Amino acid sequence: MYKIVRFFLFLFNPEFVHHISIKFIKFGSMIPGKMWALRLLFKVNDTRLEREVFGLRFDNPVGLAAGFDKDAKLFDELASFGFGFVEIGTVTLLPQDGNPKPRLFRLKEDYAIINRMGFNNEGIEAAVARLRRKKSNIIIGGNIGKNKVTPNKKAVSDYEICFEKLFPYVDYFVVNVSSPNTPGLRDLQEKVPLIRLLNRLQKLNIQKEKRKPILLKIAPDLSNEQLDDIIAIVADTKIDGVVATNTTISRNGLKTIKTKLEAIGNGGLSGKPVKDRSTEVIKYLADKSNKAFQIIGVGGIHSAEDAIEKLDAGATLVQLYTGFIYEGPGLIKRINKKILEKFGL
């Protein structure tokens, strides 16, 4: 059924389809019984799926990655699709339009997407206003970044203010310094500026009555030496874990013709081509750190088997984005059923 829906959706511009889909889901939620029907179709209710991770109880280990619900418009509705958690954002301090359009491209031959959105969002205040009206009990992650106009030497301030404003309304934080679509952002992944940033956020965190988990989202393009630095940074700053991985700037091994890729230009690649490298990063971090911290595995999950592969590599939770778009909401149910089949007692 979803393949038919996808066929028609893929006839149109991907960013247009994204916005229309959000409006359609939002409108559908107003129809009596619609959300109940979705839960009946897609949600797997089984206590064996529950996970206790960094002090939070997740109904199941399958979440929605940041980028889909950038402005916290849809988290309650997405809970009805069977997700165990939803990560909003990336949210920045001030509203920003992002990069010029077109900036979102499908690589259908590769079951992939290239995006150079550039943290387009309505800003932290708009996100907070919607989070205040939360109705469901789904766990919410807040993915935070810096504005494009903010120089790196002042980036810490953007992250601090976003952290403070979101703190009462999200359950955990993800610090995004790994998007390839904001100029200079990945420079913040270097050891010295990253330790400074995370220590500042941790200082704010421990001043709260009850601290909240902080995770770092990293790129798949890091070398082993850089991954070693990440392990050391997590230990030094005592953050709670890592989200592995973001999109890649690599174009290796794609089926899409070179002329099309050249016409598209720069951007982060997500989907099936990222799967193996993402899993390699997860396994490297888990093995080298002796599983010293939690890992949320994301990147190229298009089947239940892909998710199991991430969990076997060392991830505790997994997230979907591109796979959700290509495979539909039925993928969440298939993953949860496979987890029960493999790990259920």
Expressed in angstroms, the distance from the first to the final Cα of the chain is 32
Specify the DSSP element, H or E, that contains 195.
helix 191-206
- pLDDT > 70? residue 345: no
pLDDT at 6: 97
Which 3 state secondary structure label does DSSP give 137? coil
Residue that is written with structure tokens 């939620």 in the block: 29
Specify the DSSP element, H or E, that contains 62.
strand 62-64
**Span 9-27, pLDDT tens digits:** 999 999 999 999 999 999 9
Alpha helices for 46-92 (secondary structure H): 75-79
Percent of the chain exceeding pLDDT 70 equals 99
pLDDT at 249: 97
Shortest CA distance to 218 belongs to which of 257, 175, 258?
A: 175
Which 3 state secondary structure label does DSSP give 157? helix
Q: Is the dihedral of CA 159, 219, 312, 334 positive or negative?
A: positive
Percent of the chain exceeding pLDDT 90 equals 97
CB atoms within 10 A of CB 67: 25
Average pLDDT, integer, range 314-330:
98
Interhelix angle 275-288/304-313, rounded to 10 degrees, is: 20
Shortest CA distance to 268 belongs to which of 341, 185, 162?
A: 185
DSSP of 245-314: ---B---TT--S-HHHHHHH-S-EEEEGGGHHHHHHHHHHHHHHTTS-SEEEEES---SHHHHHHHHHHT
Annotated catalytic residues are 179
Query: What confidence category does residue 109 fall into, taking pLDDT thresholds of 50, 70 and 90?
Result: very high
**Span 242-253, pLDDT tens digits:** 999 999 999 999
- pLDDT > 90? residue 68: yes
pLDDT at 104: 98
The CATH code of domain 2-338 reads 3.20.20.70
Residue that is written with structure tokens 């239940």 in the block: 304
pLDDT at 1: 85
pLDDT at 343: 83
